Structure 1
Amino acid sequence: MVSAVAAADDAPPAARPAARLLIGLGGLYVAQSVIGGVVFTGLPAVMRQNGASLGDIAFILLTVLPWSFKFLWAPAVERFRSPHGGVRRTRTTVAIFGTLAVCAILATALIGPTALGPLTVAIMVASFSSATLDIACDGHAVESVAGRDRGLANAAQVGGAYLGSAIGGGLYLVLLDHFGWRPSTLAMAAVLLVLAAPFLTAPDGARIDRADRPRQSLRHALKRPAVRSGLLLVGLFVLGQKWAMVLIGPFLIDRGLSLSTIGTVNGIGITALGLAGALGGGVVLRRFSVLGVMSAALAVQGVVMFALAVFAASGDVAPAALVATTLVSSGSLALGFVALYSDLMGRASADQAGVDFTLFQSMDAIVSLIGWRLVGLFGDALGFAACFAGSGLLALLALGLLPIVAGRNRGETDGHG
């Protein structure tokens, strides 16, 4: 992958149609989520099938940590990708870490699902490479996408996450069932190459960066009020949207839905609604304000959580009502996050876009993990009804505070174009 793009990074700047840029970015976002689907859905299932304990599976899932703490090495990645006074090397960066990710997936195919130690190392390399690739991809998106197209860019990001998860956590399991570990995992590696091709083979359009701009760093990011208020906005929005999501699957099981039914809902229904919400968000943001779309998403999520609380407290509830409520939640979640990340793109500085945007994403991951851990600790004692009702109250609290937080320092750009 590296040699294919070495010449492209030296090419003179070229104007690229928004559609081609968005297709290339979308392919990369799907590829990153394919890796996530393989690691967090496909791999645990096949490990369990091969006799792995839940402790072993939980150990493997620690490989999510690079996504939570990638902000620590984001400045180093951005200094390489976007050197002061030099030509931007986005495609070289994507090619390097994309190659590492593909090689790690190839290694898992050869290692097999029972060798826990080597498998963990390979998956950690894949997770680290994918998270690092995302730093470069987000930085390139912020630099290259025009303001009016930010909603579409974030639709590609959120929609790509849903589609990639469906491939890595859905199609991969089907292939495993029919063809076994090695052919199926090799097929996923091939899928990654295909998805990266549109970005790596497109005209680069690289341009020379200013030599006088500040050195990319976390300190510079955190000095900017727009970044600090953006981090607060992410935490608030995640608080209102995500904390009870981990309870929905177990709740549906307790209410008698079969694994196959839940799998169908997750693989087809939620993916379809998530994609619709993501793509719809890109269009909606051309007509409505970011704040309005985020507020609507929080309001819908609050209603959904209170509805689930009522369902949990009552007796028999029709399975169709449970499924419909879950699907509404998925669609509103996708729509809201398209709006959120569109707003965050505007807060990121063009001087170090990858660093700023990575901070926002890490805040999303860390707040989500904290909430899911708290729900896991206290969910059994409090019960589903109390947890869902509490999540509904958090959504309303976030809705009330959103106009205050979203409006803080929104106009300060510090070099953003």
Structure 2
Amino acid sequence: MNGANNARMWRLQWLFGWLHFVLAVPGIYLLLGLPLVMREHGWSGTDIGLFQLTGLPAVFKFLLALPVQRYRSVQGHYRLWALVLCLLLALLLVLVSQQAITANRLFLFGLAFVAGVLATWADIPVNALAIKLLPQTQRSRAGGIRSAALFLAAIVGAGVMLLVQARWGWQAPFLLMAAGLLVALVFLGLLHEGEVKDDGLQAPRRSSVDWSGFFRQPGAHLWIGLLLSGFPFLGAAWLYLKPLLLDQGMPVQEVAWIAGVGGGVVGVLASVLGARVVQHLGPARATPWFMIGALSALLALTSAVWLQVSTPWLVAAAYLLATAMGAVSSLMFGLMMFFSRRLQQAHDYGLQASLFVLTRLLVPIGAGAVLDRSGPAAMLAGLCLAMLGVCVLAMAARSSIAQATTHAGGPVGQTARASDKCSPHISSTQ
């Protein structure tokens, strides 16, 4: 029985990992890969910059989550939402493939913006479904797989798809991305979701959204502080890493391989290993250590830039940063699942995802201003100082995280067997 249950869990984990991957690749290609193609075809810097607004829907996930949470189906509520939205995204990608880079720019922007809305929207029921179907002992692993999927999507969307476009033309990347979504739809269609029952009552077809209830959860305010601050300072350092490496005299092609491909691979491995560490230690014990590790990585990069060390040391510092990013993002995604309430999975995930994206977008703006005014070493020192505050907050939030991640009488990582027995409505993708 345990063997069959473990196999079922792995099928679910791989399905959700693939869904995260195929939903992330289009956005990354549109935001990070396609600008190179646009520049080759004479798009101005302003046009390319405005095209980045196609990523704006991610900030409004909390609004997109409302209809997902409110309008239910008796059978397969989140599954049906995910099926419809992923199918619409696949069809839209096929439509985009029938255009050309020389088509009307406003029309292309409109199509890309709708694709961004659909990908962001589909991410909500997919994550809500994962929260609903996976037992608590699997959520740390799910966070690691999701983080690894996003790092892989960055490699594919910002690198591999450009090679595909160069070799087979404009249509090929969009058709490949649509095919990936259709593969996911096949397995998603075979998944039986069922309905959560609460106190013996069937979940209603229309569910009201309880905004205040999320913040009334024990420890929610400390968790929100950690959610807002845990990742953005690492993300800002990673965003400016490539320009920093160029400023240190590293050739462009070498920067692309080290920070783009190599950093992505390191991030994937750190995501998976980080999830295992969280499962072993438990989220409450792991969180402060992960934040201390993130601070150490930032300090190493700051020292490397300030001291103008040789290239091997600079590369080592960059990979330490990639390791910290993978581990912390794995942790944060897992904790978002723990703080999503029963029967409110879509709303709670959407709210947390919006907050996560908001600071991830705002912090680099401030970091860039410091970079222009005071230089890279000062910017990185400021990020280190902010990360020190995050470490203090992580220590303060330990008891809140422990309470949120406790299930079946004990903390995650210590009661795995009991939790698996208690997990409801787990079904196979067969």
Using structure 2 for the length normalisation, give the TM-score: 0.86
SS at 1:257 equivalent: coil
Cα distance change on mapping 1:227 and 1:136 into 2, 3 Å: farther
Instruction: Give, in angstroms, the shift of residue 279 of structure 1.
Output: 1.1
Structure 1 unaligned regions, length at least 5? 1-13
* Aligned residue in 2 for 1:387: 379
Residue 240 to residue 254, structure 1, CA distance change in 2 (3 Å):
closer
CA distance in 2, matches of 1:162, 1:100: 24
Return the alpha-carbon distance in structure 2 between the equivalents of residues 92 and 191 of structure 1: 18
Counterpart of 1:161 (choices 150, 157, 160) is 150
CA contact (8 A) 1:100 1:125 kept: no
1:397 and 2:389 correspond: yes
Q: Which one of 227, 233, 244 corresponds to residue 251 of structure 1? A: 244
| CA distance in structure 2 between the aligned counterparts of 1:44 and 1:54, rounded to whole angstroms | 9
Residues 406 and 236 of structure 1: is their aligned pair in 2 closer, same or farther, counting only changes over 3 Å? farther
The answer as to 2:22 corresponding to 1:34 is no
Q: Is 2:100–2:170's contact at 8 Å kept on the other side of the alignment?
A: yes
Structure 1 contact 21–199 (Cα < 8 Å) conserved? no
Deviation at 1:226, TM superposition (A): 4.6
1:99 aligns with 2:99: no
Bigger mean CA offset, 231-240 vs 276-285: 231-240
SS at match of 1:408: helix
Q: Find the partner of 2:291 among 281, 285, 298.
A: 298
CA-CA distance at 1:344 after TM superposition: 2.5
CA contact (8 A) 2:304 2:317 kept: no
- Candidates 199, 204, 211, aligned match of 2:192: 204
**Contact kept? 1:229, 1:405, Cα under 8 Å:** yes
Task: After TM superposition, give the deviation of residue 37 of structure 1 in Å.
Answer: 1.9
Which range moved further: 188-197 or 29-38? 188-197
* 1:71 lines up with 2:62 in the alignment: yes
- Aligned 1:356-395 pairs, distance under 5 A: 356-395=348-387
Aligned to 1:274: 267
Alpha-carbon deviations, 1:308-331, whole Å to 9, x = none?
Answer: 22232234x222222221111111
Where in structure 2 are the equivalents of 1:16-415 lying within 5 Å? 17-80=8-71, 82=72, 86-114=74-102, 115-201=104-190, 203-207=191-195, 209=197, 210-211=201-202, 215-315=208-308, 317-408=309-400, 411=403
Instruction: Report the TM-score when normalising by structure 1.
Output: 0.88
Cα drift, residue 16 of structure 1:
8.3
**Mapped partners of 1:324, 1:242: distance in 2:** 17
Paired positions, count: 399
Tell me how far 1:97 sits from its aligned partner: 0.6
Q: Which residue of 2 aligns with 1:4?
A: none
In the TM superposition, what whole-angstrom CA distance separates every residue of 1:7-38 from its partner, at most 9, and x where no partner exists?
xxxxxxx9981111111111110111111221
Does the residue aligned with 2:67 lie in a helix, a strand or coil? helix
239-248 or 110-119, which deviates more: 239-248
**What SS does structure 2 have at the residue aligned with 1:242?**
helix
Letter in structure 2 aligned against 1:372: P
| Aligned equivalents of 2:235, 2:398: Cα separation in 1 | 18
Q: 2-side partners of 1:90 and 1:41: how far apart?
A: 30
Please tell me whether the aligned partners of residues 22 and 177 of structure 2 are also in contact (alpha carbons under 8 angstroms).
no
Question: Offset of 1:71 from its aligned partner?
Answer: 0.6
Measured after TM superposition, the shift of residue 248 of structure 1 is: 1.0
Code of the aligned partner of 1:146: P
The secondary structure found in structure 1 opposite 2:400 is coil
Confirm or deny: 8 A CA contact 1:37 1:166 kept in the other structure: no
C-alpha distance in 2, partners of 1:98/1:389?
42
Change (3 A) 1:26 1:239: closer
Q: Which residue of 1 aligns with 2:413?
A: none
